[in-house]
Structure 1
């Protein structure tokens, strides 16, 4: 089938919490590695307070399994302390891959 689905999550840290959010995301890599259906998982920093995650999947079932998995649960547990706003989560259709 190939990679055809993605997720983009943009995260805005509370003032002074950016480094903590970055460390949390680094730890999320281990959870992503355990997800069979997640093909790629990237955590990134855009500014001192803006971070994000981009994941790719082979099919909608894999994307839904990720959305119901351990990373969103973990983010929900620390969100009130680290995040200034709710995560901005967007679904994407992958149209080309190198």
Structure 2
């Protein structure tokens, strides 16, 4: 999965539209499966306070471009003024974060997953390459030591911005992950590598979601 591409879109439902927006995203998964062969993985996600998100993995840049010009993106564009706070431009496009995959634990038991986590990281000044190196090495550690982590991927957005996305069958898997070797290594190195250190740079940027649908 190294050299694959990814995108993450965090959105707010328009007032009174949370249930309909969640239903729209849940219904989109089969359409992604039918029409987007280059979209390797696609997740519809929901968190409290009307927050929803899409996270996806693509085999290459061409596949990512095809996704954003595809049927699901077109349907979201058509319905964004009703469903999304800010509409299409301010509520969707402005919140797209594209990235490249640094390392991953390949998905296992994918459709048993119920929860997901997305963590935004900003490298401390001058530490982008070192943080990238740590994240690049972490995929194999997760694969070897975390059976409860059903999928894990480290991402590079640009020279100083990074992210981690992972999924779990339930809270026990998530708790085991945050008590595991990679979390411990990141905790140990965060004061040097991550702006804000462990508490303000990592923990404060954890976004937990329930999974609505998976492709």
**TM category, shorter:** over 0.9
State the TM-score, normalized to the length of structure 2.
0.44
**Unmatched segments (≥5 aa) in structure 1:** none
Counterparts of 1:1-98 in structure 2, within 5 Å, are 2-33=112-143, 34-85=145-196, 86-87=201-202, 88-98=205-215
The two structures, once aligned, show a CA RMSD in angstroms of 1.2
What 5-or-longer segments of structure 2 have no aligned partner?
A: 1-110
- More relative contact order in 1 or in 2 (CA 8 Å, sep 6+)? 1
Q: Based on CA coordinates, which of the two structures has the bigger radius of gyration? A: 2
TM-score normalised by structure 1 residue count:
0.93
- Please give the alpha-carbon distance, in whole angstroms, between the structure 1 residues aligned to 2:178 and 2:207: 11
Deviation at 1:26, TM superposition (A): 0.8
- Report the structure, 1 or 2, having the larger helix content: 2
Residue 45 of structure 2 aligns with which residue? none
How big is the shift at 1:23? 0.5
TM-superposed CA distance for 1:27, in Å, is 1.0
